[in-house]
Amino acid sequence: MFKDFALAPADPILGLTAAYRADPRAEKVNLGVGVFMDETGTTPVLRAVKDAESALLAAETSKSYLPIAGTDGFRAAVARLLFAGALPAERTAVLQAPGGTGALAAAAHLVVRARPGGRVWIPDPTWGNHKAIFPAAGLSTAAYPYFSRTTRGVDFDACAATLSTLGPDAVVLLHACCHNPTGADFTLPQWEEVARIAAERGWLPVVDFAYQGFGEGLAEDRAGLLALLTRVPEAIVCSSFSKNMGLYAERTGAITLVGEDAGATARAESQAKQVARTLWSNPPKHGAAVAEAILSDDARRTAWEGEVAAMCGRIRGMRAALVEGLRTRRGDVDFAALAAQKGMFSYLALPDGAVARLREEKAIYMVAGGRINVAGLLPRQLDYVCDSLAEVL
Ligand code: LMR
């Protein structure tokens, strides 16, 4: 069997890291994968995480299996972080999942149970893995208009027009905040309009919420999500602690089901547990225990919130410096849209040729389309990156 396989290409995002590592050039810059680095180029373990880990290490007495959906403490903590009490508890069911990707895969496998061969609408553009996760579960994908390459912001009219044509069989993937790759988010009134369309047309929103805290703040970043969830009967939220707790390698995330009432929610939860049992059986313990220990302890939680705000501040400062550096080099280009982008990424909407040229000639690695990880850009690299970008813009 194996000799007949075609050689699969490297992953368009994670494969970049391998290519970057293998690059011998001293000036190389890795702006590919969305991982936060501090100003020295380190992806730190947060202090709140270290503190939680010390306490857990001292107190742990067993490594027996967790329940399929994760511990009650973790599940309640996730619900508080996502919804802040805005939804009745009996309408929500949280299941721990291995990272945001695991949550999306579980969502795909849950959806396919109700809609075999169904279609998931994803924004154009979107995170590359969305295009692979849903088909891997037997669903097809189609793109809805999202980003205008002219205004470099959300093309809301085109987006709303397409979403208004979809019916109850459709599933629509939305990014809650810090849209990956564009950094262009819906405004609150736009979220309200999306919610109105979803409720009227009856399609199912699946919300990818991987960057809570990296846009405006932990509470602010869920405002759009809540505007949606308080207006629709059903939704799925896929969330992650990879970024906001720096728990990348611990694969700590959650799939949360929002149902019309307690009965529908419980039925969907029972199906999701079967899905989890077949995909990973029961979830990994460590990262979830850390997240629970942070979120359920006032002192640790306050310390963590400060660390999230600091990471967000570094990203904002770096984006402002990038925009300033580009403005001084290219006075003929309008960078207002770049300055307004939110989250880890800046999106330059570059042709593939320019992205390849930056990698080949300048050793600057970025994701296709010109997505830059601003959280990976170091102050000492800024001039080199601005000089190089100014040549291709
Ligand atoms: C990214 O978009 O770079 C991150 O979400 C990491 C990943 O898994 O692709």
Q: Is the per-residue pLDDT at 123 higher than 90?
A: yes
Closest residue by Cα to residue 168 from 232, 98, 218: 232
Topology of the domain covering 2-45+304-392: Aspartate Aminotransferase, domain 1 (3.90.1150)
Tens digit of pLDDT for each residue in 181-209?
A: 999 999 999 999 999 999 999 999 999 99
Topology of the domain covering 60-299: Aspartate Aminotransferase; domain 2 (3.40.640)
Which of these is catalytic: 203, 243, 304, 342?
243
* pLDDT the model gives residue 349: 87
Q: Is the per-residue pLDDT at 23 higher than 90?
A: yes
Is 280 noted as a catalytic residue in this protein?
Answer: no
* pLDDT the model gives residue 165: 98
Sketch the domain layout of the chain as residue ranges: 2-45+304-392, 60-299
Mutation choice for ligand 1 from 31, 33, 208, 247, CB with most ligand atoms inside 8 A = 33
* pLDDT the model gives residue 116: 97
d(CA 5, CA 346): 36
Ligand 1 closest atom vs CA 181: 2
Contact (Cβ atoms closer than 8 angstroms) between residue 229 and residue 258: yes
Is 243 noted as a catalytic residue in this protein?
Answer: yes
Give 302's pLDDT tier (boundaries 50, 70, 90): very high
∠ CA(368), CA(373), CA(376), 5° rounding? 135
**Arithmetic mean of pLDDT over the chain:** 97
* pLDDT the model gives residue 122: 98
* pLDDT the model gives residue 91: 98
Tens digit of pLDDT for each residue in 134-174?
A: 999 999 999 999 999 999 999 999 999 999 999 999 999 99
User: Would the CA dihedral through 173, 353, 325, 337 be positive or negative?
Assistant: negative
d(CA 324, CA 277): 50
| Bridge partners (DSSP) listed for residue 238 | 208, 255
- Which residue's CA is minimally distant from atom 2 of ligand 1? 34
| Bridge partners (DSSP) listed for residue 346 | 372
Distance 13 CA to ligand 1 centre (A): 6
Q: Is the per-residue pLDDT at 130 higher than 90?
A: yes
Q: Is the per-residue pLDDT at 351 higher than 90?
A: no
Q: Which two tokens stand for residue 49?
A: 């995480």
| Bridge partners (DSSP) listed for residue 94 | 256
What separation in angstroms does the CA of 220 have from each of 83, 153, 177, 210, 392?
12, 20, 10, 14, 35
How far is C-alpha 156 from the chain's CA centre? 20
* pLDDT the model gives residue 357: 96
Give 352's pLDDT tier (boundaries 50, 70, 90): confident
Is 127 noted as a catalytic residue in this protein?
Answer: yes
How much of the chain is in helix, strand and coil states, percent to nearest 5?
A: 50, 15, 40
- 60-299 has the same fold as 2-45+304-392: no
- The answer to whether the CB of 100 is under 6 A from ligand 1 is no
- In this prediction, residues 249-274 reach a mean pLDDT of 98
Q: Which long-range contacts (CB under 8 A, 24 or more apart) does 147-151 make?
A: 147/123, 147/182, 147/184, 147/347, 147/349, 149/349, 151/337
Give the type of residue at 225.
L
Output the pTM of the full model: 0.97
d(CA 9, CA 358): 20
Closest residue by Cα to residue 107 from 258, 298, 3: 258
- In this prediction, residues 77-95 reach a mean pLDDT of 97
First to last CA, the chain: 46
- Which residue's CA is minimally distant from atom 1 of ligand 1? 34
d(CA 77, CA 68): 17
Give 261's pLDDT tier (boundaries 50, 70, 90): very high
d(CA 339, CA 324): 9
Distance 105 CA to ligand 1 centre (A): 15
* pLDDT the model gives residue 95: 98
